[in-house]
Chain A
Amino acid sequence: MQTRRDFFKSVAGAAAGAYIAGRGVSASAQRGGGGGRGAVVPPGPRKQISIGGKRVTVIDVHAHCTVDGVAEVVKGTPFERQAGGRALGADRIALIDSEGIDIQVLTINGYWWWEVQDRDLANRIVRAQNEGLARWVSDHKDRFVALTSVSLQFPDLAAEQLDYGVRQLGLRGATIGGHVSGQSLSDPKFDPFWAKANELGVIVFMHPGGADNIIKEEAWKARGDIGNIIGNPLETTYFLTRLIFDGTFDRFPNLKVCGAHGGGYLPSYFQRTEVACDVRNNAMCANKKHPREYLTTNIMADTMVLTDEGLRHLVAEMGVSQVVYGTDNPLNWPVPVEMIVNHSTLTDDQKIQILSGNLMKLLKLTPTLA
């Protein structure tokens, strides 16, 4: 099977590569996002969002970054080239200022380090990532929180890393991809990780990488960047679907798993999943509850469905408690905070829940705005 990093290189690289030098966007952010121009804005006034005359906090759950310190760890290894990317800096603060984001939830994506077979090296990479994140967050306490990277190819180690990241480094949860070398994360071998997330009650943010576990690269050789626009939601759909049908959510009922890009296709096209166990007599479903119960409790999604009607539908399907604002920063998807603030059908209370209320609770943040 083609490796994840090859896939990223070929699919995202063509589109994204050219921008990296010129636009100063980190390589790993480009991988996860799959092409597109990064937003770079000059420092300017901080945009402040109000709803009904009241200042509201805006939290962005979907934000890519890389940190210093990883390059040194992988120097001289086959992974040397993966550590690249420009680390967080003042331009990120300028960006979130300009977009009205008060607090950004940082994650390192791409998950190339899941291919590292040397356990010690794997651990050191993740340690460098998490300490780098913790350092940045500590220096910018009022604007950023972060989620731990984990070495999910070693599930027990991943559990330790999550525990350490949350308890010792003050990180708020974990970020993961949709598979480890093609293995579904619903496989019981990954239970130690899920058990730890369940125990800690922290958010797990899942970001896809073009469904290279499902679709061969050749299938994406087509116009429309469909490796990204179909591949990403597909990987997330498959990932969440397996967590449902294989009973992962039953084993770990406290899980909160947030899927990027509106949770892929799953929440927006939930009905086929919903009836599968009833209608398909070969479905062998292991889930104990009706699929919708997981959709409205364990599964969360960011708001990246990109249209007013899409967001109305997402909220109608999942319940407003499951939907959180996300931008895919620093990539330039059209997801301004106004999409929530000016939404045509959401109530003010619902808008506030999506912009920050849901995440305040889950990330255990204290409201700091008057």
Chain B
Amino acid sequence: MRNRRDFVKTLAAATAGSFVAQRPATSLGAGGFAWAQGGAAPKRREVFIGRKRIKVIDSHHHLNIADVARVVKGTPYEPQAVTTGDGIVGPERIAWMDRDGIDVALLTQQGAFWYGVQDRGLAREIVKAQNEGTAAVVAKYPDRFIGMASMPLQFPDLAAEALEDGITRLGFKGAGISAGWAGAKNLTDPEYDVFWSKAQELGTFLFMHPGGTNGNGDPHFGGKGALPNTIGNPLETTIFFSRLIYEGTLDRFPGLKICGAHGGGYLPSYLGRTDAQCRRQGDVCSGKKRPVEDYFHTQLMADIMVFREEGLRHLVAELGVGQLVYGTDIPFGWPVTPDFILNARVLNDAQKEQILGGNLIKLLKLTPATTA
């Protein structure tokens, strides 16, 4: 089985590195990246709805921390460190956000290679470097970024520790779950209760991003169409959410708030089959206490990376606008500027404001007014 770090590396390198320079115009009309091709930094775009200045918060925003290279030097993980490229946050990232009109971004690590590290000490050191590095980025641009803790999720106790350290010492507002599982472990296994319990206790907002396929699918996802991403990503999120529901994790920890990347995978857009099976065969759903849709109306959230208005309309209808948050996947070049929300005919102004920032302002207890 190909391991996750190779997979993530391939994915990240192939996409992130060369993309900006040769970005094709997408059929959905996303703008180009003139600034990245040598132009002057653009003026910061300020987003208004009517006459009201809106704080735009990006929930799905990646970074790499170059200092990880120091920690993994001489280990098998040395090739996984990313020290250059657009995953490293600097003035270009700020220019990108300025151009698109993103005021604040929640920073989560790109990739999940450290979930494969079996040495507790090394895993802890990698995560520490990531979190200290993230805190330094936030300190440099305090009004533009919010830190999200990374965790060595293969060790539930260390994950709980890293989470607490991130929230209480480093001032992070949440944490990133970087894959739907950690090696062979399912995150719904009882040993993870120590982690979920800590997340609930701290009231942590969790942003889950898939790490690709689960490895089982590698040979089949090798075809055309970037299938590890196109299918593998939403699939991993779908299995992750399904397990949280069916294994009763969300019932044991009703305070959890977990946002799934890419519109939360397939489930929010294809909810009927999940719930119908419970009505047909109650015995297979005995691990959970509530109707499936209830979890999606309360604990599970999704970003709006569905790219088209009809998809957005469907997400709003299924989850409710209070469960949806703006997300871009920067530095990857998906067509999701704030205009996707601003121009949506199916949303009223209040709903647009909720999705672009309001929901996260409330959840993370942020200051509503922008100081820009």
A244 within 8 A of B: yes
Q: List, in ascending order, chain A residues with CB within 8 A of B273's CB.
A: 229, 232-233, 261, 304-306
Task: Say whether, besides A262-B270, A277-B225, A282-B226, A37 and B335 are in contact (CB < 8 Å).
Answer: no
Q: Which residues of A contact B245 (CB under 8 A)?
A: 224
Given A223-B285, A271-B307, A274-B307; A241-B227 close (CB under 8 Å): yes
Contact B220 A238 (CB under 8 A): yes
> Is B271's beta carbon under 8 Å from chain A?
yes
Check B333 against A226 for contact (C-beta < 8 Å): no
Please give me the residue from chain A that is nearest to B238 by CB atom: A230
Given contacts A229-B273, A307-B272, contact A245 B284 (CB under 8 A): no
Most buried by A among B27, B231, B308, B317: B231
* B263, CB-defined interface residue at 8 Å: yes
User: In whole angstroms, what is the CA distance A242 to B219 when docked?
Assistant: 13
B197 is an interface residue with CB less than 8 A from chain A = no
Interface size class of B (residues with CB under 8 A): 35 or more
Q: Is the CB of A276 within 8 A of B263?
A: no
State whether the Cβ of A28 lies closer than 8 Å to any Cβ in chain B: no
- Of the listed residues B28, B217, B288, the one surrounded by the most CB atoms of chain A closer than 10 A to its CB is B217
Chain A nearest CB: distance from B126 CB in Å?
Answer: 26
Chain A hits for B19, CB < 8 A: 281
A8 to B225, CA, bound (A): 29
Min CB–CB distance B312 → chain A (angstroms)? 9
Interchain CB contact (< 8 A) of B269 among A241, A268, A280: A268
Residues of A within 8 A of B14 (CB): 281-282
Q: A281-B18, A309-B318 are in contact. Are A245 and B225 (CB under 8 A)?
A: yes
Q: Do residues B277 and A269 form an inter-chain contact, with CB atoms below 8 A?
A: no
With A223-B247, A279-B333 as known contacts, state yes or no: A184 contacts B230, CB within 8 Å: no
Say whether B22 faces chain A, with CB atoms less than 8 Å apart.
yes
Contact between A275 and B281, CB atoms less than 8 A apart: no
Q: Does A87 sit at the interface, judged by CB under 8 A?
A: no
User: Which one, A59-67, A142-150, A284-292, A355-363, is touching chain B?
Assistant: A284-292
Q: B274 an interface residue at 8 Å Cβ cutoff?
A: yes
Q: How far is the CA of A306 from the CA of B186 in the complex (A)?
A: 29
Which residues on the B side are within 8 Å of A334 (C-beta)? 276, 279-280
Which one of A15, A241, A271 contacts B284 once the chains associate, using CB atoms below 8 Å?
A15
Residues of B within 8 A of A182 (CB): 219-220
Q: CB of A296 within 8 A of chain B? A: no
- Interchain nearest-CB distance for B1 vs A (Å): 10
Query: Are B246 and A269 in contact, CB atoms less than 8 angstroms apart?
Result: no
Q: Is the CB of B27 within 8 A of A228?
A: no
- Cα distance A275–B233 in the bound complex, in angstroms: 14
- Bound-state CA distance A229–B266 (Å) is 11
Q: Evaluate contact between A265 and B266: CB separation under 8 angstroms.
A: yes
In the bound complex, residues from chain A placing their C-beta under 8 Å from that of B186 are 222
Kindly state whether residue A246 has any CB partner on chain B within 8 Å.
yes
Report B-chain residues with C-beta under 8 Å of the C-beta of A278: 24-28, 335
Closest to B13 in A: A282
A97 to chain B, nearest CB (A): 22
Asked if A275 and B224 make an inter-chain contact with CB atoms under 8 angstroms apart, the answer reads no
Interface-centre pick from A215, A270, A278 (highest chain B CB count, 10 A): A278
Q: Are B239 and A219 in contact (CB under 8 A)?
A: yes
Nearest CB to that of A309 among chain B residues?
B317
Nearest B residue to A228, CB-CB: B277
Known: A265-B234, A279-B333, A313-B269. A222 touches B246 (CB 8 A): yes
- Most B CB contacts (10 A, CB to CB) among A224, A230, A277, A290 go to A224
User: Is the pair A283, B225 in contact by a Cβ cutoff of 8 Å?
Assistant: yes
- Contact B314–A332 (Cβ < 8 Å): no
A304 CA / B227 CA spacing, docked (Å): 25
Inter-chain contacts of B265 with A (CB < 8 A): 269
Contact of B306 with A by CB under 8 A: yes
**How far is B177's CA from A183's CA once the two chains are assembled, in angstroms?**
33
> Are A275 and B270 in contact, with the CB atoms below 8 A?
no
Taking a contact as CB atoms under 8 Å apart, the answer to whether B231 and A237 are in contact is yes
Indicate if the CB atoms of A222 and B243 lie closer than 8 Å: yes
Q: Flag if B281 contacts A230 (CB, 8 Å).
A: no
Taking CB atoms, residues of chain A closer than 8 Å to B276 are 306, 333-334
Closest 3 CB pairs of A and B: A306-B272, A245-B225, A224-B246
Some 16 contacts from A to B, beta carbons below 8 A apart, are A214-B220, A222-B243, A223-B288, A224-B284, A224-B287, A225-B277, A226-B243, A241-B231, A268-B266, A269-B263, A269-B270, A270-B311, A278-B24, A309-B314, A313-B269, A317-B310
Q: Enumerate chain A interface residues (CB-CB to B < 8 A).
A: 15, 35-37, 182, 184, 186, 213-216, 219, 222-226, 228-230, 232-234, 237-238, 241-242, 244-246, 261-262, 265, 268-286, 290, 304-307, 309-310, 313, 316-317, 332-334
Given A184-B223, A269-B311, A272-B230: 7 more A-B contacts, CB < 8 Å? A182-B219, A226-B242, A234-B231, A269-B266, A304-B273, A305-B273, A307-B271
